[in-house]
A = this chain, B = another copy of it.
Amino acid sequence: MRKIYLSNTPRQEALERFLAETTAKELTEKVPVRAGLGRITAAPVFARLSMPGYHAAAMDGIAVHAERTYGASDQAPLELEAQQDYVNVNTGGVLPQGFNSVIKVEDVQELPGTKVEIIAPATPWQHIRAVGEDVVAGELIVTAGHKLKPADLGALLAGGVTELEVIARPRVAIIPSGSEVIGPDEARKPGKVPDFNSTVIAAYLEEWGAQPIVCPIVPDDPDKIEDAILAALDSADLVIINAGSSAGDKDYTFSVIDKLGEVFLHGIAARPGKPTILGKVRDKAVIGLPGYPVSAYLSLEWFALPFICRWLRQPVPEREKIEVSLGRRVVSEMGTEEFVRMNAGYVGGKYIANPLTRGAGVTMSLVRADGLLVIPANILGYEQNETVEMELYKPRQELRYNLLVAGSHDMIIDLLATAMKKDDPRINLSSSHLGSMGGINALGRGQAHMAGVHLFDPLTKEYNIPYVKKLLPGKNVHLFNLAYRMQGWIVPPGNPGNIKTVSDLAEYEIEFINRQKGAGTRLLFDHILEEAGIKPQQINGYSREEYTHLNVAAAVAAGTAGAALGILPAAKAFGLDFVPLAEERYDLLFSDDFMNSPEAELVLKTIADPLFGEQVESLGGYSLRDAGKKEL
């Protein structure tokens, strides 16, 4: 097997090459207008009929010959005889032959018999809706390459067009590949990876106006991959293979495309997304996408989207861009364009954005992202507080309702998000898991609206206030009690290590898993160690860190740790045991700026709501007895 090296082709160059080497077929189909919403016209459409198709009365009243009304006045009212001088008409009704004006019913005096009287003359063609006032036969309704909106359908029907030629949606086959890949509904097994990429890729394609065809999963076997590609080519205009696009032992995508057709490119100077393959087989475009979800979706957007847009004769949609101030430093590698998922919010009069996890495997980073920071290949990164341009995933207006929550994360924040959305559906809570100290600092730098903090001060035996005063001296901030929550040892079911105190951890040499520096739980653990006179070195795994309660619990559940310090709901999520240790206070810190907003008011109203309290307490390990109490 020959060794494959990935190139480092700039993304734009790769795209140009891909579009130059492939073509869009001009396939069209006829659809009834009523099924035309969102479809793209294949040709300009002209009205066949006029709307209205006849001269119509635009008012209820009488149709007259204008010329025969001249001279009518207050002083000299004019009598008109039915049929001969006038005919009654209703709005929308046909203007009778030989009449050329309409007088409103309000201006007509009925006389006994069949006569009426008017006291002012009519001007020719007044109150008449002329033939073609709405749409006139022969008029252009929509150009070619036009995406049909609801009102367009109305104008088409009004113009006598009941079916029209639209561009056929490109059919895109998705071939999930990998011997470790199983269907998303199949039972999970260690070493097996569920194929959720196909669902996501299909959804993107659907949004972009293509017609996705998800093929069966193919194992890492060149012959089977070959068969799958050939079968897909029969019915598809573009074939996507996901994954096997890298340069490992079992990555056959390159060699199969190379054998069946031509590979234009292998390797893009971008991260995530580098191991992308662009080629063609039997004159149809083929894309090999990387296996990591974020890499796959980004690469799909770089290459499949422009291909589809060209096919549909639509411009590639441009994302709105805004200037943001960076909440944290972002580093990047020279020579590689980097794509960093960001959350963002409007804090103290400017847009603030924070980088989310960079991992190419973390789909949640896309779920949480408000936009994308694209770092050009020749930039080594940006400093904290630097102003950079960011692409938005949602309209700028929506960011105004994104509340940035920094600091320690707790499930109460998730429930708070849902409860607040019920009151005001515009609101989103966007969390950065920075730990309590990180949260206070972010708030101090004006990079968050709120911070979740639970920091015990051994000196004063007080929660949070000493830290806020020390880290934000002289700063006007507001601290509210959210909950008391129980911290304890998260241990395997049945507590096989029989852990009750921190001394047991050291004594029984239990493998511990710790939280990151600056986290309230880490500080609590350090305090417990100090109180017990135990040194960090005496604890196995003291330096192994995770960022959330759930992640340490996951390690205990997986058997790679024997104990962790955390909260009850995390233990419950994994069916683990929990040995309660101490109740701590979890507060919300508000910036002064945020304090005066309607959103802050809604936060306080929500957490003080007894129904919300019940909901949180039902998780176990929480008490909301002081929720909403101002602590500082």
Chain A positions within 8 Å of B, measured between CB atoms, are: 33-34, 37, 43-44, 46, 49-55, 60, 90-95, 97, 100, 124-125, 129-145, 149-158, 160, 162, 180, 184-185, 188, 190-191, 193-194, 196-197, 199-204, 206-207, 248-250, 293, 297, 309, 313-315, 318, 320, 359, 361-364, 366-367, 395-397, 401, 411, 414-415, 417-418, 421-422, 424-426, 428-429, 541, 543-544, 546, 548, 550-551, 553-555, 557-560, 569-570, 572-574
Contacts and interface: CB of A to CB of B under 8 A. Distances in A.
Given A131-B555, A140-B411, A320-B396, 12 more contacts: A34-B202, A53-B188, A92-B191, A92-B193, A93-B180, A132-B551, A138-B553, A150-B201, A150-B204, A154-B196, A158-B194, A158-B363
A558 B131 contact: yes
B313 A422 contact: yes
B415 A44 contact: yes
A425 B145 CA distance: 7
Contacts of A52: 193
B574 A203 contact: no
B185 A421 contact: no
A227 to B, nearest CB: 24
A133 B361 contact: yes
Contacts of A573: 46, 137-138
B206 A37 contact: yes
A130 B546 contact: yes
Contact of A138 (B141, B152, B550): B550
A154 B197 contact: yes
A34, A100, A196 pick with most chain B CB within 10 angstroms: A196
18 contacts: A44-B418, A51-B363, A53-B188, A93-B191, A129-B361, A131-B554, A139-B364, A142-B367, A143-B414, A143-B417, A143-B429, A144-B422, A150-B201, A150-B203, A153-B199, A157-B184, A320-B395, A320-B397
A51 B182 CA distance: 14
A411 B143 CA distance: 12
B190 A53 contact: yes
Contacts of A92: 180, 191, 193
A417 B44 CA distance: 9
B157 A199 contact: yes
A318 B151 CA distance: 19
B207 A37 contact: yes
Given A60-B248, A130-B555, A151-B200, A49 B188 contact: yes
Given A37-B206, A138-B574, A133 B362 contact: yes
B554 A137 contact: yes
A137 B550 contact: yes
Contact of A199 (B33, B551, B554): B33
A6 to B, nearest CB: 15
A580 to B, nearest CB: 19
A246 to B, nearest CB: 9
A352 to B, nearest CB: 21
A139 B550 contact: yes
Contact of A425 (B34, B134, B315, B574): B315
Contact of A153 (B60, B196, B318, B541): B196
Nearest to A558: B131
Given A144-B422, A188-B53, A315-B425, A134 B366 contact: no
B142 A560 contact: no
Contacts of A559: 97
A414 B140 contact: yes
Given A157-B184, A199-B154, A364 B135 contact: yes
A425 B55 CA distance: 38
A97, A143, A366, A414 pick with most chain B CB within 10 angstroms: A143
Given A34-B199, A124-B544, A150-B200, A141 B557 contact: no
A44, A53, A359 pick with most chain B CB within 10 angstroms: A53
A184 B162 contact: yes
Contacts of A190: 53-54, 94
B362 A134 contact: yes
Which 8 residue pairs of A and B lie closest in terms of their CB atoms, listed nearest first? Answer: A138-B573, A157-B196, A150-B203, A151-B366, A140-B414, A132-B554, A154-B200, A315-B426
A550 B125 CA distance: 18
Contact of A141 (B130, B141, B204, B364): B364
Given A54-B190, A418-B144, A367 B152 contact: yes
Nearest to A575: B137
Contacts of A207: 37, 150
Contacts of A551: 130-133, 136
A155 B199 contact: no
A397 B318 contact: yes
Contacts of A199: 33-34, 153-154, 157
A414 B559 CA distance: 70
A536 to B, nearest CB: 15
Nearest to A413: B140
